[in-house]
A = this chain, B = another copy of it.
């Protein structure tokens, strides 16, 4: 048996998104509707009713883990997602290039995303990674870029702590913050980790501000990438791998580093689909093709698409609706055609609601669809928020992957 889990980020919406409909309800999705009429739908609270999920915690929960128990922070998933081999004890950060100018009380943040820098990141990272932190700290580090200004930072050494604050002021023309031990964690490890970070970002300006890449950017009128903002401190979460729990091997196909990182933390392999960007411009047909190829070799695939959420964060109902229609046509269509439906179960859902008006995650439940030979059918015939209220799965919280795997008889028994 095979299993395919597809999560469209921020899929669900609110009735004011498109004249009384959500984007998902407004979109023309004949393939999802066909799967709905063959399978069973319902509503899933990614974490629980009324709990507004982050992308990381929502994914952990949907994959069957209790985020209240295992979640240590976002940074470690970003680091794993960029390809770094995180070890227990390492402390990782979601980090990005920014543009600053020296000010009276520190560095003033002029652009939190360094003009969404699109080239030269590797050279800048190389320069950064040549910094040596004070010998006495005994801490090594690595910055690795992912897409645009984004990347991850990993600290390695004895006695590091994830209980440190961030330096991102989250607004422009504000002074970059000092790293500090998190309140209630004023111990030696946290103070040492904060000190190392402070030293590192101070050096980052020295190394970056006059770097040839930035000299050229300034000449071009682009914001120089002359500083590092780091947040989301986290160490490796203690997770039983999916293989250890269910005895099956699978892979993640995702353009976004975060989603790859979460899946890697759960023990999935990483498969890169050509043209998968983690954005609205991603190549969905390539992801479908890669998923089908991977399913021939492995037991299951977790396929993530991000564009739905990007459009919603940009308050762009048209783009979100259009992207959902592309998912239906370019991803679901080819999959429907080529999946071996006698031997495969598929689940399709989102990781949270992102209404157009709000432009950020909200807590409403998300429609979810299961289809395959062992799924009890219900009477729903279109895939959308309000139709899913009538679905045979009713409403439940998280655990979509275990429910999918259950149809393949993969789940361990609790008890006897």
Which residues from chain B contact A45 at a C-beta distance below 8 Å?
Answer: 396
Given A232-B416, A386-B378, the answer on whether A49 and B396 have CB atoms closer than 8 Å is yes
Verify A52–B412 contact, CB threshold 8 A: yes
Question: Does A123 touch B at the CB level, under 8 Å?
Answer: no
Question: Does A16 touch B at the CB level, under 8 Å?
Answer: yes
A17–B134 Cα distance when bound, in Å, is 68
> Which A residues from 349 to 374 make CB contacts under 8 A with B?
355, 357-358, 360-364, 373-374
- The closest CB in chain B to the CB of A67 belongs to B415
A72–B375 Cα distance when bound, in Å, is 33
Question: Does A169 touch B at the CB level, under 8 Å?
Answer: no
One of A184-192, A210-218, A398-406 at the interface: A398-406
Verify B414–A57 contact, CB threshold 8 A: yes
A400–B362 Cα distance when bound, in Å, is 15
Question: Does A104 touch B at the CB level, under 8 Å?
Answer: no
Which residues from chain B contact A389 at a C-beta distance below 8 Å?
Answer: 376, 378, 391-394
A376–B389 Cα distance when bound, in Å, is 10
Verify A50–B64 contact, CB threshold 8 A: yes
A22 to chain B, nearest CB (A): 8
Verify B74–A362 contact, CB threshold 8 A: no
> Which A residues from 23 to 68 make CB contacts under 8 A with B?
42-43, 45, 47-58, 64, 67
Q: How many copies does the complex hold?
A: 2
Which residues from chain B contact A357 at a C-beta distance below 8 Å?
Answer: 374
Question: Does A87 touch B at the CB level, under 8 Å?
Answer: no
Which residues from chain B contact A402 at a C-beta distance below 8 Å?
Answer: 49-51, 363
Of the residues B52, B409, B415, contact of A414 by C-beta under 8 Å: B52
Which residues from chain B contact A50 at a C-beta distance below 8 Å?
Answer: 64, 399-403, 405-406, 411
Which residues from chain B contact A416 at a C-beta distance below 8 Å?
Answer: 54-57, 73-74, 94, 232
Of the residues B54, B232, B376, contact of A386 by C-beta under 8 Å: B376
Question: Does A279 touch B at the CB level, under 8 Å?
Answer: no
A386–B377 Cα distance when bound, in Å, is 7
Verify A67–B15 contact, CB threshold 8 A: no
Which residues from chain B contact A385 at a C-beta distance below 8 Å?
Answer: 376
Which residues from chain B contact A412 at a C-beta distance below 8 Å?
Answer: 52
Which residues from chain B contact A198 at a C-beta distance below 8 Å?
Answer: none
Question: Does A287 touch B at the CB level, under 8 Å?
Answer: no
Verify A373–B415 contact, CB threshold 8 A: no
Which residues from chain B contact A414 at a C-beta distance below 8 Å?
Answer: 47, 51-54, 57, 67
Which residues from chain B contact A362 at a C-beta distance below 8 Å?
Answer: 406, 409, 411
Verify A15–B376 contact, CB threshold 8 A: yes
Looking at A73, A385, A409, A416, which has the most chain B CB atoms within 10 Å of its CB? A416
Verify A409–B358 contact, CB threshold 8 A: yes
Verify B355–A403 contact, CB threshold 8 A: no
A53 to chain B, nearest CB (A): 6
A88–B21 Cα distance when bound, in Å, is 50
Verify A53–B415 contact, CB threshold 8 A: yes
Encode contact with B along A138-149: 1 for CB under 8 Å, 0 otherwise.
000000000000
- The closest CB in chain B to the CB of A43 belongs to B394
The 4 closest A-B pairs by CB, nearest first: A54-B415, A57-B415, A50-B402, A394-B395
Q: List 30 A-B contacts (CB under 8 A).
A: A15-B374, A15-B375, A16-B374, A42-B394, A48-B399, A49-B396, A49-B399, A49-B403, A50-B401, A50-B405, A50-B411, A52-B411, A52-B413, A54-B416, A56-B416, A57-B416, A67-B415, A74-B416, A232-B416, A357-B374, A358-B409, A360-B409, A363-B406, A364-B406, A378-B386, A378-B389, A389-B391, A389-B392, A389-B394, A394-B394
Given contacts A16-B374, A47-B414, 7 further A-B contacts (CB under 8 A): A14-B374, A16-B373, A50-B403, A51-B414, A74-B415, A363-B406, A393-B395
